[in-house]
């Protein structure tokens, strides 16, 4: 019995240890390369701790590769899309949860949008964006991302409202508040932690998205992830610049992810599991 529990314990430690190494090593390589001088690139054995760290790759990535423009675009687009998606999603979720609006059909229709392959919807959107003058505009991408993330915000908030008691809103209605006031002044403040978590998940989804931005933008409204195209094939061996840009892009979303860690299960399953 004792021997088998020791075996089980060491298997546990080995499994966890393996994954920590597996996850951290490539990540560490990218971050450390972003501060390596070019002379450290091609050595054998590889340099894991650069003796003379440098920030030149960051300035090059931000200014020579238009990383700064991408960063600003990503911030504006992700913030605006998050606001739109969260507000519209919370409104819809409230109605679905409290009034079963549209029966099951409306809720199902919203969530099925989440599983459509982007490649199947992007072609007509691309053609229509060109007709409507939305191609390569921030507003176009903001609308597209609000659409893309609505299933997430609606379903996360739908699950959230369903577990909130109705009694306070009912009391508010008895006190003479309109349904709008009951929603806006009573339900929303109570649901604020849920709204905040949903907003962060939406922001991360938009911040990390590539495909829509690749197709719907070009020289002006491009986001951070699309800049990585410039490094395809590494013809000019801009390893440091690529890694600096990657670091700039992944740091904020990882930081946000850590904040909503508690809500992760709900975020990943669109509210189906509580965790």
Partner 1 sequence: MGQSATANSPSAASAIRAGGASAWADRHFKWLMVAPATLLILAFSIYPMLFSLWVVFVNYDFQIPGHEFVGLQNFQQIVNDPLAWSSLGLTIALSVAVVAIEFMLGLALALAMVKTFRGRGIVMSILIIPLFISPVIVGQSWALFLQRPFGPADYLLSQLMGRPVAISWVGETPWVYIAILLADVWQWTPFMFVILLAGLAAIPPHLYEAAELDGVGALNAFRYVTAPQLAPVMLLALTLRLLDAVKLFDVIFMLTGGGPGTATYTTSFYLYQIGFQQFHLSMATAGSWLFLILLSVVITALVRRLLKAEAA
Q: What gap in Å lies between CA 89 and CA 235, rounded to an integer? A: 44
Smallest distance, Å, CB 37 to partner 1? 14
Of 65, 160, 207, 222, the one binding partner 1 (CB under 8 A) is 207
**d(C-alpha 150, C-alpha 142), whole Å:** 12
Question: Can you tell me the distance from the alpha carbon of 255 to that of 81, in angstroms, rounded to the nearest whole number?
Answer: 19
Nearer to partner 1, 69 or 90 (CB): 90
- To the nearest whole angstrom, how small is the minimum distance from the Cβ of residue 65 to partner 1? 13
**Residue list 64-83, contact with partner 1 (CB under 8 A):** none
Q: List the interface residues with partner 1, window 124-183 (CB under 8 A).
A: 124-128, 143-144, 146-147, 150, 154, 158-159, 162, 176, 178-181, 183
- DSSP letter string, 188-248: HHHHHHHHHHHHHHHHHHHHT--HHHHHH-SSSS--GGGGGGGGGGGTT--HHHHHHHHHH
Shortest CB 31 distance to partner 1, Å: 10
d(CA 271, CA 262): 13
* Cis peptide bond upstream of 45, omega within 30: yes
Which of 191, 209, 217, 222: binder of partner 1 (CB under 8 A)? 209
Query: CA distances (Å), 107 to each of 103, 156, 196, in order?
Result: 8, 12, 21
> Dihedral angle at the C-alpha atoms of 199, 201, 206, 211, nearest 10 degrees?
-150
Other C-beta atoms lying within 10 Å of the C-beta of residue 9: 10
Token readout for 139 is 């507003």
- How many Cα atoms are found within 13 Å in the side-chain-facing hemisphere of 240? 18
Q: Which of 54, 79, 113, 137 binds partner 1 (CB under 8 A)?
A: 113
Closest CB 110 distance from partner 1, rounded Å: 7
Whichever of 33 and 82 has its CB closer to partner 1, that residue is: 33
**Shortest distance, position 254 Cβ to partner 1, whole Å:** 5
| Closest approach of partner 1 to the CB of residue 265, in Å | 4
Tell me the C-alpha distance between 251 and 199, whole Å: 18
Among 6, 8, 55, 196, binds partner 1 (CB under 8 A): 8
Tell me which of 69, 80, 82, 94 binds partner 1, using CB under 8 A: 94
CA distance 261 to 158: 19
Near partner 1 in 223-252, by CB under 8 A = 225, 228, 231-234, 237, 239, 242-243, 246, 249-250
Q: Rank residues 96 and 186 by Cβ distance to partner 1 and give the closer one.
A: 96
Stretch that binds partner 1, among 53-61, 65-73, 109-117, 189-197 (CB under 8 A): 109-117
Q: Binding of partner 1 at residue 222 (CB under 8 A)?
A: no
> Crossing angle, helix 103-115 and helix 138-162, to 10 degrees?
130
Q: End-to-end alpha-carbon separation of the chain, Å?
A: 32
Cβ at position 53, least distance to partner 1 in Å: 18
Site for partner 1 in 18-37 (CB under 8 A): 19-20, 22-27, 29-30, 33
């Amino acid at each position: 019995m004792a021997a088998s529990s020791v075996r089980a314990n060491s298997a546990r430690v080995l499994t966890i240890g393996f994954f920590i190494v597996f996850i951290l090593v490539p990540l560490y390589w990218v971050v450390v390369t972003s501060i390596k001088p070019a002379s450290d690139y091609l050595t054998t054995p590889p340099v894991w701790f650069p003796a003379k760290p440098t920030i030149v790759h960051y300035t090059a990535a931000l200014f020579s590769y238009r990383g700064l423009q991408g960063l600003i675009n990503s911030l504006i687009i992700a913030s605006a899309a998050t606001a739109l998606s969260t507000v519209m999603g919370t409104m819809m979720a409230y109605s679905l949860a409290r009034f079963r609006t549209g029966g099951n059909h409306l809720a199902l229709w919203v969530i099925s949008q989440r599983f459509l392959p982007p490649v199947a919807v992007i072609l007509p959107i691309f053609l229509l964006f060109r007709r409507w003058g939305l191609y390569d505009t921030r507003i176009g991408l903001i609308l597209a991302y609000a659409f893309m993330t609505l299933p997430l915000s609606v379903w996360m908030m739908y699950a959230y409202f369903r577990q909130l008691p109705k009694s306070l809103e009912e009391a508010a209605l008895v006190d003479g508040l309109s349904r709008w006031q009951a929603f806006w002044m009573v339900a929303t403040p109570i649901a604020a932690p849920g709204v905040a978590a949903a907003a962060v998940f939406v922001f991360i989804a938009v911040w990390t998205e590539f495909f829509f931005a690749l197709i719907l933008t070009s020289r002006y409204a491009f986001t951070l992830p699309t800049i990585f195209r410039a490094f395809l094939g590494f013809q000019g061996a801009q390893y440091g610049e690529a890694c600096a840009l990657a670091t700039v892009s992944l740091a904020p979303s990882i930081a946000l992810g850590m904040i909503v860690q508690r809500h992760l299960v709900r975020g990943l399953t669109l509210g189906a599991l509580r965790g």
